[in-house]
Structure 1
Amino acid sequence: MATIVETKSKTWKAVIRKQGWPTTVKTFRLKRDAVDWARRTEDEMVRGVHIERATSGRLTFDKALDRYLSEVTPTKRATTQRAEKLKAVPVRKFFGAYSLAAINVDLVARYRDERLATLSQRKSKSTGKAAALSPATVRLELALLGHVFTTAIREWRIGLVQNPVANVRKPTTGEGRNRRLNAGEEKRLRETIEAYSNPMLGWIFTVALETGMRSSEITGLKLRQVDIARRIVRLDVTKNDSARTIPLTKRAAETFTAALANPVRPKDCDLVFFGEPGRDGKRRPYTFSKAWNDIKESLGMSDLRFHDLRHEAVSRLVEAGFSDQEVSAISGHKSMQMLKRYTHLRAEDLVDRLDAIGKANKAAIAKKKRSAKK
């Protein structure tokens, strides 16, 4: 049985001491509230469903996020760590002062809506035009928020009934980008990039179009990962943590041959595409984002992203007749649905194939008619 006692401040304290459970204490303004709470709590203990909620009421989100960033985030890849620290800034600003128990579905939904509005206003000021929202940004921030709660519930054993993010509608991301290069754009890009002072930019551009590799996968390549004789590249670390081997076209193999023979490569550098030494004397992957942005702006292609080259490469593989499984093995997409988002076929490029199918069908019908006459 629970013990109900009146305190000096004229409140009522309920104390539950039950074998197999830690001592549970809670204070109420009215005695009947203390009695009701004690009865419900003891019943939950008997049924084995009791959750200690006091901890969640004392722990602020600010402290929970600090613990998450210090314990969970360091277990992830370096790029993910940097991304999570950036996403944590707006999430902390909004939820930091709340206790975990006080964060509910309504509060998370309000954050979603206000964040979308903030992104819209920010983009409008920078472009001077009607802004297109970035729901993907909000989805990633909500994912971080939700994982903090999941970790608190499952690993830290914080007394929470449910994850409030689980029942909140996530912003839709639409059908994804479908930016493709036309022949004229590729020609102008290649000519301008090849005229750039550092040849590594041109090599990276060609490798991206020929293999469909991500920019981080290309710039992070080590010498040992490239096998020119067998015309393959072995990726040990990828976005989805699945290693894969990429076959090289003749053009890609020739590009890697030139990159490996780079005459200015330091003898102690094992990176295929290397940058200048940092303050610590270490060389890191070549950073080409500024040069890439300057070139595409000068050519009037400001809407083109480097990642669109991956879209282009994957789409070309499909247009060349590779099966979904073959394309997936090269690109590293785990699901056909995700592969579909990255594959955008040009209708005009399929016209010749449709004509060929039509001719083949007519020939087959004519052959059958001739056979029937005989």
Structure 2
Amino acid sequence: MGFPAQSKTFETRTDAKRWAADMESEISRGVFVDRAEAERNTLGDLIRRYQAEITPAKLGGDKEKGHLAVILDDQISQLRMTMLASRDVAAFRERMAANGYAPATIVRRLNLIATIINHARAEWSVHVVDNVASSKLTARPKGADRKRERRLQPARVIAGQEDCPAEEETLFKALAAGRHAALMVPLTRLALETAARQGELCSLEWRDIDLDKRVMTIRGLGGEGSKNGEVRRVPLSTAAVEAIRSLPGYEVKAGRLFPVDQNALKITFARVVRRKIPNLTFHDLRHEATSRLARVYTNPLELMRVTGHKTLSMLSRYYHADAEELARRLA
């Protein structure tokens, strides 16, 4: 039985002889693995192929492309797969941290590299002994699992100062005074009433709204499901119904409810609120809404049907009841 010709470049003759001896040993023991593809491809080659063949079919593919572009811009992408080691992945991790990326973002990119290597091993015959980007071989930065618990703050009095109005009141006053108030005010109200994600709201069409039954169908950006791949029907509160009826397109009821790009929504929201409410993002509204809905849907399975979370652990990342609220329930 013949074996594919193997070749590899080394800096020293000693390293070359050691590698050749290892190859002969593997052949004689019947454990030979063809490393030709691993030697031929850099990590960047695999990323580009994955980006072309796999990423477009994934939910959240556009966001993934952004992460892959950052990895491709880094020197790690130039390493051949036979030379890639866990120390190289660790160095990439440290460069990301030095550039100010959040731990969760760094973990996302490390996991992407690990996923691509696993796919290349399974589907593209790129044989490497270990997946050096796995969490077992390359440690993840600390703090990536820290939950964000930002909620809208109630009205309060600061000693020696005037009353501070509730952040929700401040938020809607700021949105109402903005250039895109006609869309942003009802969109934000719907987010607070339904816990829908940014992309889910931006993809809503009038055919998804049934005001008689007070139900909204979420199909996601691709029309085939939300972020987790499921189509779900969400009940609409009175406030949510009123927000929908206030939209400019209510009389026509054709096309999308909110003809705005998801990224544009994020930027517009940030521009309006940054001077009025510190450290508040549009995604924080999903945390706020989930915590509010938990008062109505005390059964977590019912709550998950509304919010679209697939597991209790993910739901727990968005449900933040404060101690005062829990104490009131004991009274």
- TM category (shorter chain) comes to 0.7 to 0.9
Given residue 170 of structure 1, which amino acid in structure 2 is its aligned partner? R
**Sequence identity percentage:** 27
In structure 1, the gaps of 5 or more residues are: 1-17, 120-132, 276-283, 356-374
Q: Mapping of 1:55-204 within 5 angstroms?
A: 55-77=37-59, 80-92=60-72, 93-119=74-100, 134-166=102-134, 167-172=137-142, 173-183=144-154, 184-198=166-180, 199-204=182-187
Structure 1 pair 109/327, CA: closer, same or farther in 2 (3 Å)?
same
Alignment partner of 2:274: what SS? helix
Alignment partner of 2:98: what SS? helix
Preserved contact between residue 274 and residue 285 of structure 1 (Cα < 8 Å): no
Structure 1 pair 52/182, CA: closer, same or farther in 2 (3 Å)?
same
CA distance in 2, matches of 1:329, 1:87: 30
Matching residue of 1:296: 273
Shift of 1:285: 7.1
Given residue 316 of structure 1, which amino acid in structure 2 is its aligned partner? R
CA distance in 2, matches of 1:309, 1:53: 50
Q: Does 1:231 pair with 2:214? A: yes
Given residue 298 of structure 1, which amino acid in structure 2 is its aligned partner? R
In structure 2, the gaps of 5 or more residues are: 155-165, 220-224
Preserved contact between residue 51 and residue 161 of structure 1 (Cα < 8 Å): no
Preserved contact between residue 4 and residue 34 of structure 2 (Cα < 8 Å): no
CA distance in 1, matches of 2:26, 2:210: 65
Given residue 291 of structure 1, which amino acid in structure 2 is its aligned partner? T
Alignment partner of 2:298: what SS? coil
Given residue 68 of structure 1, which amino acid in structure 2 is its aligned partner? Y
Across the aligned residues of Structure 1 and Structure 2, the Cα RMSD in angstroms comes to: 2.5
CA distance in 1, matches of 2:19, 2:80: 22
Q: Does 1:50 pair with 2:35? A: no
Shift of 1:137: 0.9
Aligned residues: 306
CA distance in 2, matches of 1:179, 1:286: 21
Shift of 1:257: 2.7
Given residue 157 of structure 1, which amino acid in structure 2 is its aligned partner? S
Shift of 1:117: 1.9
Q: Which segment is superposed worse, 66-75 or 201-210?
A: 66-75
Structure 1 pair 76/97, CA: closer, same or farther in 2 (3 Å)?
same
Structure 1 pair 40/206, CA: closer, same or farther in 2 (3 Å)?
same
Matching residue of 2:246: 258
Residue deviations 1:56-79 (CA, integer Å, cap 9, x gap) = 1221222222211111112223xx
Structure 1 pair 293/39, CA: closer, same or farther in 2 (3 Å)?
closer
Matching residue of 2:330: 354
Matching residue of 2:234: 246
Shift of 1:180: 0.9
Q: Which segment is superposed worse, 335-344 or 88-97?
A: 88-97
Indicate the structure whose relative CO is greater, using CA pairs within 8 Å and at least 6 residues apart. Answer: 2
Preserved contact between residue 271 and residue 285 of structure 1 (Cα < 8 Å): no
Matching residue of 1:15: none
CA distance in 2, matches of 1:38, 1:85: 37
- Structure possessing the higher radius of gyration over alpha carbons: 1
Matching residue of 1:273: 258
